[in-house]
């Protein structure tokens, strides 16, 4: 099989090109000698099967950041047929250094000058033919976002793979030969690139005048986040209700009659265990898709890096920087990739402090729990405010954690941040993002959640002659052990069982409640509304927000920190903080008469 290595600097559209070239078939893979997993996809290019490997974005082949070392180790140890280098056509004076470095490796190479549409608007003209002659490699201009120029570029890749059918290793001696690159870069830019002496004031500059204002920038950021939650609720709730109605109708019309003749325990397992547990979790699929569509707009528009810029001064006082804030925002999707993203930080202290704060991000698994409880307990008019308060709490606890532990994990690493121009994401990109997250969610439902609801059903029904979820069952005995600890924060015994399974994965919590109470969907929501007041519900959500990260996150922390002691701290600290915050809220609210 042939292999293409895809390289480029951050914010060049490399990932957009990768997604357009490979579709939705990418997977995570690993290679001998590489300490991290990389994204790859196998596709048919011409008449050959080709593995396309998306390497981390780097600024310099000879740097010492984690990402730069990963790229170097890959190129030193893995043979390839072709290097495909994606560059931002509007910034070639800064970006041509990378292909000049790659040229010395002696590997076949193709340059893709992306964002050609933006370059044209800015008056930047590139002599692609002269550039190709100077570099000894084909040069194509395209817009990966809109697809213009994509097919000719794809054909060039096919032609180059035919021209270079054998896998080759890079010339390792070339990794140290970069003394003359700066002089060659200056000559190459002057010969091949023509740009206005001063680029015209763009729409981006005018928008940034307000969005990056020293006084109004942060209030605008939080206002936009609150507006995003309003959109999520407005669009997602009707879709969620519709899916819940479909699942309930199928259960009443088909599943219950079909299971009528089965033994009682088998019928209970299939309907109250598997169907109600999984069905309740699946009702969140529409609203989670809407959530990630909104977040994709925020990320792809270029606003995410501006949020890091706005927060950098505050984060610096806490021993972090703007990148840690970006990782915090990434944690809204899942804490695991956010933890992995700390590899761009060179200082060990900065990485560990960031890893300690990221698990407080309100991830999509916790979002399922909060959406269910908020919809069941709180009025629709204040539901977005309740969710927004939990997001603010997640930020506040992350900042508090950084403030407390900053002297233990110190860093002097400076922040280098590039602000890309504002862009509107394409519908195709949004649909791919929605499908990717939906697929990940369904895979979770097929793994952790199935195992979780089965275990919860067994614990709440064994021994089988006891009343389900009673004190005589295994679940009841576990709840009795947890009661002295959780009663002061307003959580009853059955809620404690769901929290115990949340240690494995937060996705299991709602499915576990459905199994524990033997109800799903609106029936479960109505029961919780009758059993809990808003103080108990909010205390439960606070505890769920803060307490121990899921096993996948802890495993990633152990892998990245290479320390069992730090992993233990990452477990014990949020668990202790969760109980303290929930205790102060619950007891304080009760003392005020709520």
The arithmetic mean of pLDDT across residues 531-556, rounded, is 87
- The Cα 416–Cα 321 span in angstroms is 10
The H or E element that residue 305 is part of is helix 303-317
pLDDT value of position 413 = 64
Inter-axis angle of helices 521-531 and 508-517, nearest 10: 80
The arithmetic mean of pLDDT across residues 128-138, rounded, is 91
Of the ranges 36-50, 227-241, 392-406, which one carries the lowest mean pLDDT score?
227-241
Q: Decide if pLDDT at 139 tops 80.
A: yes
pLDDT value of position 543 = 94
In the three-class reduction of DSSP (H, G, I as helix; E, B as strand; rest coil), residue 556 is classed as helix
- The Cα 102–Cα 84 span in angstroms is 10
pLDDT value of position 582 = 94
Q: Decide if pLDDT at 137 tops 90.
A: yes
List Cβ neighbours of 247 (8 Å cut-off, separation of 6 or more).
279, 282, 283, 520, 521
Q: Decide if pLDDT at 201 tops 70.
A: no
In the three-class reduction of DSSP (H, G, I as helix; E, B as strand; rest coil), residue 427 is classed as helix
The arithmetic mean of pLDDT across residues 521-542, rounded, is 88
- The Cα 208–Cα 214 span in angstroms is 11
Pairing verdict, β 38-45 and 27-29: antiparallel
pLDDT value of position 404 = 93
Predicted confidence (pLDDT) per residue in 455-466, tens digit: 777 877 788 777
Q: Decide if pLDDT at 568 tops 80.
A: yes
- The Cα 543–Cα 554 span in angstroms is 18
- The Cα 365–Cα 553 span in angstroms is 12
pLDDT value of position 211 = 82
Q: Decide if pLDDT at 415 tops 70.
A: no
The arithmetic mean of pLDDT across residues 278-296, rounded, is 73
pLDDT value of position 530 = 87
Q: Decide if pLDDT at 32 tops 60.
A: no
Banded model confidence at residue 85, pLDDT cuts 50, 70, 90: very high
* 100 half-sphere exposure, CB direction, 13 A CA radius: 23
pLDDT value of position 62 = 75
Contact indicator for 309, 393 with CB cutoff of 8 Å = no
Pairing verdict, β 139-141 and 109-114: parallel
Q: Which of 96-105, 269-278, 579-588 has the highest mean pLDDT?
A: 579-588
The H or E element that residue 2 is part of is strand 2-8
Q: Decide if pLDDT at 587 tops 90.
A: yes
In the three-class reduction of DSSP (H, G, I as helix; E, B as strand; rest coil), residue 263 is classed as coil
Dihedral angle computed from the Cα positions of residues 405, 410, 414 and 415, in that order, rounded to the nearest 10 degrees: -20
Of the ranges 127-131, 298-302, 346-350, 435-439, which one carries the lowest mean pLDDT score?
435-439
Mean pLDDT, all residues of the chain: 81
CA-to-CA dists, residue 581 to 221, 566, 574, 586, angstroms: 26, 22, 10, 9
pLDDT value of position 69 = 77
- The Cα 555–Cα 559 span in angstroms is 6
pLDDT value of position 114 = 92
* 79 half-sphere exposure, CB direction, 13 A CA radius: 9
- The Cα 221–Cα 180 span in angstroms is 44
Structure token pair of residue 346: 């060179």
Contact indicator for 503, 493 with CB cutoff of 8 Å = no
What are the residue ranges of CATH 3.40.50.300 in the chain? 2-194
Structure token pair of residue 460: 């709440």
Structure token pair of residue 484: 């002295």
Structure token pair of residue 66: 């984690």
pLDDT value of position 526 = 86
List Cβ neighbours of 374 (8 Å cut-off, separation of 6 or more).
383, 386, 387, 541
The arithmetic mean of pLDDT across residues 499-511, rounded, is 76
pLDDT value of position 416 = 65
Predicted confidence (pLDDT) per residue in 142-192, tens digit: 998 888 899 999 999 999 999 998 988 888 776 665 546 656 766 777 777
With tokens 């925002």, the residue in question is: 329
List Cβ neighbours of 422 (8 Å cut-off, separation of 6 or more).
203, 204, 207, 301, 302, 303
With tokens 């990418």, the residue in question is: 26
Reported residue count of the chain is 594
Q: Decide if pLDDT at 134 tops 60.
A: yes
Predicted confidence (pLDDT) per residue in 44-65, tens digit: 888 889 999 988 888 888 766 6
pLDDT value of position 177 = 57
Banded model confidence at residue 281, pLDDT cuts 50, 70, 90: low
Predicted confidence (pLDDT) per residue in 216-231, tens digit: 887 887 788 777 767 7
pLDDT value of position 500 = 76
pLDDT value of position 518 = 73
Structure token pair of residue 176: 């140290």
> How much of the chain exceeds pLDDT 90, in percent?
19
pLDDT value of position 441 = 62
Q: Decide if pLDDT at 279 tops 80.
A: no
Q: Decide if pLDDT at 578 tops 90.
A: yes
The arithmetic mean of pLDDT across residues 502-524, rounded, is 76
Structure token pair of residue 556: 């990633």
Secondary structure (DSSP) of 42-84:
EEEETTEEEEEEEPPP-S-TT--SHHHHHHHHHHHHS-BSEEE
Predicted confidence (pLDDT) per residue in 318-377, tens digit: 888 777 877 787 777 677 767 866 766 767 888 899 999 999 988 877 888 898 889 888
Q: Decide if pLDDT at 29 tops 60.
A: no
* 50 half-sphere exposure, CB direction, 13 A CA radius: 30
Between 482 and 571, the more confident residue is 571
The arithmetic mean of pLDDT across residues 536-548, rounded, is 92
The arithmetic mean of pLDDT across residues 273-293, rounded, is 72
Listed in sequence order, the DSSP H helices in 78-164 are 92-95, 97-103, 116-122, 128-135, 150-163
pLDDT value of position 443 = 65
Contact indicator for 115, 90 with CB cutoff of 8 Å = yes
pLDDT value of position 293 = 80
CATH superfamily membership of 2-194: P-loop containing nucleotide triphosphate hydrolases (3.40.50.300)
Contact indicator for 357, 401 with CB cutoff of 8 Å = yes
Pairing verdict, β 109-114 and 82-88: parallel
The arithmetic mean of pLDDT across residues 488-498, rounded, is 82
Q: Which of 103-117, 300-314, 360-374 has the highest mean pLDDT?
A: 103-117
pLDDT value of position 544 = 92
- The Cα 373–Cα 40 span in angstroms is 39
């Amino acid at each position: 099989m042939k292999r293409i290595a895809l390289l480029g600097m951050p914010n060049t559209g490399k990932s957009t090109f990768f997604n357009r070239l490979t579709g939705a078939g990418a997977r995570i893979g690993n290679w001998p000698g590489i300490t991290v997993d990389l994204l790859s996809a196998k596709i048919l290019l011409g008449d050959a099967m080709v593995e396309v490997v998306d390497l981390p974005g780097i600024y310099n082949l000879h740097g010492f950041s984690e990402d730069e070392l990963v790229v170097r180790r890959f190129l030193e140890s893995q043979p390839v047929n072709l290097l495909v280098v994606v560059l931002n056509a509007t910034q070639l004076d800064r970006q041509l250094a990378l292909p000049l470095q790659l040229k010395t490796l002696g590997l076949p190479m193709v340059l893709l000058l992306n964002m050609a549409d933006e370059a044209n608007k800015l008056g930047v003209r590139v002599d692609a033919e002269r550039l190709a002659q100077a570099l000894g490699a084909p040069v194509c201009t395209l817009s990966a976002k809109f697809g213009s120029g994509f097919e000719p570029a794809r054909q060039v890749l096919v032609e180059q793979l035919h021209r270079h059918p054998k896998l080759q290793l890079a010339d390792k001696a070339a990794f140290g030969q970069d003394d003359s690159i700066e002089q060659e870069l200056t000559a190459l830019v002057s010969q091949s690139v023509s740009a206005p002496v001063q680029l015209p004031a763009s729409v981006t500059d005018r928008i940034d005048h307000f969005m990056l204002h020293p006084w109004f920038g942060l209030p605008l950021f939080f206002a936009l986040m609150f507006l995003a939650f309003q959109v999520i609720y407005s669009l997602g709730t009707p879709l969620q209700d519709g899916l819940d109605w479909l699942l309930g109708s199928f259960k009443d019309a088909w599943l219950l009659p079909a299971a009528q003749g089965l033994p009682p325990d088998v019928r209970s397992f299939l309907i109250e265990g598997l169907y109600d547990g999984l069905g309740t979790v699946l009702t969140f699929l529409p609203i989670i898709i809407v959530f990630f569509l909104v977040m994709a707009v925020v990320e792809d528009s270029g606003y995410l890096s501006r949020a890091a810029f706005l927060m950098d001064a505050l984060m610096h006082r806490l021993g972090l920087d703007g990148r840690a804030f970006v990782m915090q925002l990434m944690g809204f999707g899942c804490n695991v990739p956010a933890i992995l993203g700390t590899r761009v930080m060179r200082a060990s202290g900065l990485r560990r402090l960031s890893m300690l704060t990221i698990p407080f991000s309100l991830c999509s698994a916790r979002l399922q729990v909060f959406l269910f409880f908020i919809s069941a307990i709180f009025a629709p008019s204040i539901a977005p405010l309740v969710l927004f308060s939990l997001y603010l709490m997640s930020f506040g606890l992350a900042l508090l954690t950084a403030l407390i532990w900053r002297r233990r994990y110190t860093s002097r690493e400076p922040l280098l941040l590039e602000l890309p121009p504002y862009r509107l994401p394409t519908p195709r990109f949004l649909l791919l993002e929605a499908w990717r997250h939906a697929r990940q969610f369904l895979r979770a439902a097929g793994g952790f959640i199935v195992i979780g609801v089965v275990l919860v059903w067994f614990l709440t029904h064994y021994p089988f002659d006891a009343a389900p979820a009673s004190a005589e069952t295994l679940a009841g005995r576990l709840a009795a052990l947890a009661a002295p600890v959780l009663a002061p924060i307003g959580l009853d015994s059955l809620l404690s069982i769901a929290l115990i399974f949340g240690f494995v994965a937060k996705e299991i919590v709602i499915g576990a409640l459905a199994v524990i109470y033997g109800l799903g969907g609106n029936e479960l929501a109505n029961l919780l509304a009758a059993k809990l007041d808003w103080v108990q519900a909010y205390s439960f959500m606070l505890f769920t927000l803060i307490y121990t990260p899921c096993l996948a996150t802890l495993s990633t922390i152990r892998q990245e920190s290479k320390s069992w002691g730090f992993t233990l701290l990452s477990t014990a600290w949020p668990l202790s903080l969760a109980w303290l915050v929930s205790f102060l809220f619950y007891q304080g609210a009760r003392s005020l008469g709520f």
